[in-house]
Structure 1
Amino acid sequence: MADDDRTPEEEFQELIQQLFGSGAQLDPEQLSRLSAMGIDPAMMQTVMRNLQGAFAAGGDGIDWEAAKRQALHIANQDGLGVTAGQRTELDQAFALSALWLSEATTISQLSAPPSAITRGAWVEATLPVWQELAEPVATSIADALTATLSEQAPEDMQGLVQGAGRLMRTVGGSLFATQLGQVVGNLAKEVVSGGDVGIPLMPDGTAAILPQNFADFGRDLEIPEDQLALYIATRELAHARLFRHARWLRLHVISQVTDYARGVQIDTDALEEMASRFDPSEPEELRKALESGVLLPARSEAQTAALTRLENLLATIEGWVDVVTEDATSRLPSAGRVAEAVRRRRAVGGPAERALGSLVGLELRPRRMREAAAMWRAVTDAVGTAGRDALWDYPDLMPTAEDIDDPASLVARLEARARGEEPERDELDDALARILAGESPESGQAPAGGETDGGEPDADGPPDDHRPV
């Protein structure tokens, strides 16, 4: 096709590709073409500087590699690694903590040795999970930005705007990737250990402490460093052991966060208002809007319910870790003071809340952690560590929100089970019993002929204890 045969849309797309190609610069002819289209060449040059890196990747949407580069740039700014002395001290703390934990829980030790890691290594290890958590909202923002900017364009420009749809989607994706990189990079400068955030970011069975951040955390506590290291190492090992033992738990937590994130709908009114005055040469305003969460509207009823479930789940996990850590560190004179410092840090909104609030609009406050810890303490006192830890063997055994509210009922059930008494039956038990007996779960009647699916009479009744596990 000759140049003169190109449509305006094709001409615009070609110009955009040239402008945002690797190392592209505006030549006099392109300046003239931009002016003829009513586009300020100076503004476009600024846009090029801000976004050229994103287009060089050639992707459509979120440039996760850009997020990684940004996070590592922030995390590694000080250029400090882990010294041999730090590694030795933490290795010793982990070794003693492992022995103490073996007395406080029946959940077995990790197969891989714990380690002292740099901030950059923490970014490398956790970024895949952050990407999984953030992707639903990132996609929503990129789609909403594309649609909203298209709606803002005049009617005679719709063809051009639609031709540049991929461009606008990449703008939104690039800005979100930058935001994710900043959040994770800054978080790497705060987290003390792998389990510090509460959600399972590290690979299964991995325990780690960040020596630089550990030093910052204990600087104003006036607690001997060796005692602080023992407490933090114990807590980190307890958290890692739990997720390694209950292998279903990691997916359970992450799926609840992503389910919440998928329900996020961008506030189109706020985005339209911003788009009406959006200057592409100054993407800082959109970046700040993403960080502040102004584009994320109030939670729906479904999201509020999802948030409540997630808070109860995380409280149940953290409550168990609190109790086990308290028992394992009972020899430490300063254990109580360290525990209170950890609780205060959570209560004012720790690094996890800020990160999740910025990325997916998810606010997590440990409202239920003290109640969950009280429940686990009551269970431990009633049935011992083995009976307590067995509740993590299967998902359906784990305590519920109602158990946090009323630990006495949970304790009564566990004590009855320990005595060999059959648990109180409910409607689910009765329905399952009828199914196992070959009856209709609704009618309670056996199928015609009184036969099971296999064609033989069902001579055996349901087992005494048929609760699924």
Structure 2
Amino acid sequence: MGDDSDDSRNEDDLSELLRRMLGGQGGIDPAEIERLTGMPVDPSMLAMISQQLRGAFAGGGDGISWDLAKRQALQIAESGALSVTDGQRVDLDEALALATLWLGEATTISDLAHSARVLTRAQWVEASLPVWQELAEPVAESIADALTATLEEQAPEEMRAMMQGAGRLMRTVGGSLFATQLGQVVGRLSTEVISGGDVGIPVMPAGEAAILPQNFADFGRDLDIGEDQLALAVAVRELAHARLFRHAKWLRLHVISQVTEFARGIRVDTEALEDLAGRFDPQRPEELRQALESGALLPAHSEAQRQALGRLETLLATVEGWVDVVTEDATARLPKAGAIAETVRRRRAAGGPAEQALGSLVGLELRPRRLREAAAMWRAVTNAVGIEARDSLWDYPDFMPTAEDIDDPDALITRLQARARGEQVSADELDDAIARILAGEEPAPDDGEGEGTSPSDDATGEEEPPRPA
């Protein structure tokens, strides 16, 4: 009987303690928690837990509070950040103005409605965080749900009655842990990116371009390339990326939906989570943070995920390949254009520390593996049919090149040439045409009308205008 009364008294005392913590009341003695739980408590850890619990209840609902991610990201972005000088702003504005003129010669896709912005790191965080949240939310939900279920299962028998009804709170706190890690990664990413489109996905609002002068200065510090040339190359690449997403209004949603489709397939490795929960030490929260950021809780990709990842990589490679080709043509006047392009390629292939951390946290690598092949396809298309026909492939989703087109650009070129002549090509005719191209044979005359034309004339479409179908 005495044991029952002691248990009841302990539960009442713990309930009172929780009310005081959630109410923000002071005077909470760590020794009191040690007496009730039988576990040693670090005072700084207690303060952090109290803050998270109060934030969870204050937010209402059972969703994840992304305000915590935003605060973490801004804190990192603003720490040690140099101010943007008027000289830097003027130099970049001049580079963006000249880049706009050069792009007019390299693409038929129209200019932006608004001028590109020069952003601080904190402003980049504010502008891009909604997209990071959208991409990471499926993973955060999965981790929060799994953490809640695992902790409930791992709880001692005598505490399970107290855990009933606390699922919403625990789920929110678990999600907040993930949000904190995401905020730290995005904050560190803000110290690496040099422009709005630098990470390959459209993190800026549609049709907006931006350059971060603080990071641009770091990018060119160890390169034997003039800052004016670097500024022009970066400006051209950023404007080309933003122009493409403004022109192809469907493309932004297409990319983000592909990413979220991949993320929704992520499931937490419950065995790894149970192992972590079984040996978790409240005085060493670093282990949980490292597990989240290292990706240890995310299992190997499933077959469905590998297929989704393949589609996403093809899409990102198609976008970045077009940007590469347009940038190469627009910056041909620069004496060190080739060296700059190679620097960008190497930087993109390696990725920065923050980008690698993001890949571990969300399970997604943003750098497409087939970028060189996609760029080669766009170069072949440009040489064969010109920039207008090339850029028309972004007019509708159905026109966009596929993975098969990256593998075999000749098939795409054949279709474009037939479309320019107003012809409808059957599958058999297309296969025959591809076979002739691969065999190195001359194209057959077009019913006697094209006997005097050369393959190059036919490829450019300059000898005669397209005939109506």
Range into which the TM-score falls when normalised by the shorter chain: 0.7 to 0.9
Residue number in structure 2 paired with 1:114:
116
Counterpart of 1:183 in structure 2: which amino acid? V
Counterpart of 2:139 in structure 1: which amino acid? V
Displacement of 1:44 in angstroms is: 6.3
Displacement of 1:79 in angstroms is: 4.0
What stretches of structure 2 of length at least 5 have no aligned partner? 429-467
Are residue 203 (structure 1) and residue 190 (structure 2) matched?
Answer: no
1:191–1:210 contact (8 Å) kept in structure 2: yes
1:248–1:395 contact (8 Å) kept in structure 2: yes
Rounded to whole Å, the distance in 2 between the matches of 1:336 and 1:31 is 66
Counterpart of 2:261 in structure 1: which amino acid? D
Select which of 213, 216, 241 maps to 2:215.
213
**SS of alignment partner, residue 358 of structure 1:** helix
**SS of alignment partner, residue 230 of structure 2:** helix
Rounded to whole Å, the distance in 2 between the matches of 1:259 and 1:24 is 45
| Greater shift in the superposed pair: 360-369 or 343-352 | 343-352
Residue number in structure 2 paired with 1:151:
153
Counterpart of 2:220 in structure 1: which amino acid? G
Rounded to whole Å, the distance in 2 between the matches of 1:199 and 1:216 is 22
Counterpart of 2:17 in structure 1: which amino acid? L
1:86–1:211 contact (8 Å) kept in structure 2: yes
1:82–1:211 contact (8 Å) kept in structure 2: yes
Q: 1:351 to 1:251 in 2, by over 3 A?
A: farther
Residue number in structure 1 paired with 2:404:
402
Displacement of 1:214 in angstroms is: 0.5
Displacement of 1:165 in angstroms is: 3.0
2:200–2:366 contact (8 Å) kept in structure 1: no
Rounded to whole Å, the distance in 2 between the matches of 1:25 and 1:44 is 15
1:75–1:188 contact (8 Å) kept in structure 2: yes
Rounded to whole Å, the distance in 2 between the matches of 1:310 and 1:23 is 49
Residue number in structure 2 paired with 1:453:
none
TM-score by length of 1: 0.85
What stretches of structure 1 of length at least 5 have no aligned partner? 427-463
Q: 1:243 to 1:357 in 2, by over 3 A?
A: same
Q: 1:89 to 1:125 in 2, by over 3 A?
A: same
Rounded to whole Å, the distance in 1 between the matches of 2:338 and 2:157 is 67
Counterpart of 1:39 in structure 2: which amino acid? G
Q: 1:301 to 1:25 in 2, by over 3 A?
A: farther
C-alpha RMSD over aligned residues: 2.3
Residue number in structure 2 paired with 1:305:
307
Residue number in structure 1 paired with 2:51:
53
Are residue 359 (structure 1) and residue 361 (structure 2) matched?
Answer: yes
| Greater shift in the superposed pair: 64-73 or 273-282 | 273-282
Rounded to whole Å, the distance in 1 between the matches of 2:357 and 2:159 is 38
Displacement of 1:152 in angstroms is: 1.0
Rounded to whole Å, the distance in 2 between the matches of 1:358 and 1:412 is 41
Rounded to whole Å, the distance in 1 between the matches of 2:49 and 2:36 is 21
**SS of alignment partner, residue 390 of structure 2:** helix
Aligned residues with identical type, % of pairs:
68
Rounded to whole Å, the distance in 1 between the matches of 2:280 and 2:263 is 26
Residue number in structure 1 paired with 2:393:
391
1:152–1:276 contact (8 Å) kept in structure 2: yes
Rounded to whole Å, the distance in 2 between the matches of 1:308 and 1:53 is 41
Q: 1:74 to 1:56 in 2, by over 3 A?
A: same
Q: 1:257 to 1:91 in 2, by over 3 A?
A: same
User: What are the equivalent positions in structure 2 for 1:115-264 lying under 5 Å apart?
Assistant: 115-264=117-266
Displacement of 1:360 in angstroms is: 1.2
TM-score by length of 2: 0.85
Rounded to whole Å, the distance in 1 between the matches of 2:354 and 2:320 is 13
Residue number in structure 2 paired with 1:62:
64
Deviations 1:13-38 (A, max 9, x none): 443232243254315xx955x45533
Deviations 1:281-317 (A, max 9, x none): 3221101100000000000000000000000000000
**SS of alignment partner, residue 92 of structure 2:** helix
Displacement of 1:81 in angstroms is: 2.2
Displacement of 1:250 in angstroms is: 0.4
Select which of 93, 96, 100 maps to 1:94.
96
2:185–2:354 contact (8 Å) kept in structure 1: no
Displacement of 1:11 in angstroms is: 6.0
- Count how many residue pairs are aligned between Structure 1 and Structure 2: 422
Displacement of 1:425 in angstroms is: 5.4
**SS of alignment partner, residue 37 of structure 2:** coil
| Greater shift in the superposed pair: 354-363 or 364-373 | 354-363
Counterpart of 1:181 in structure 2: which amino acid? G
Residue number in structure 1 paired with 2:449:
none
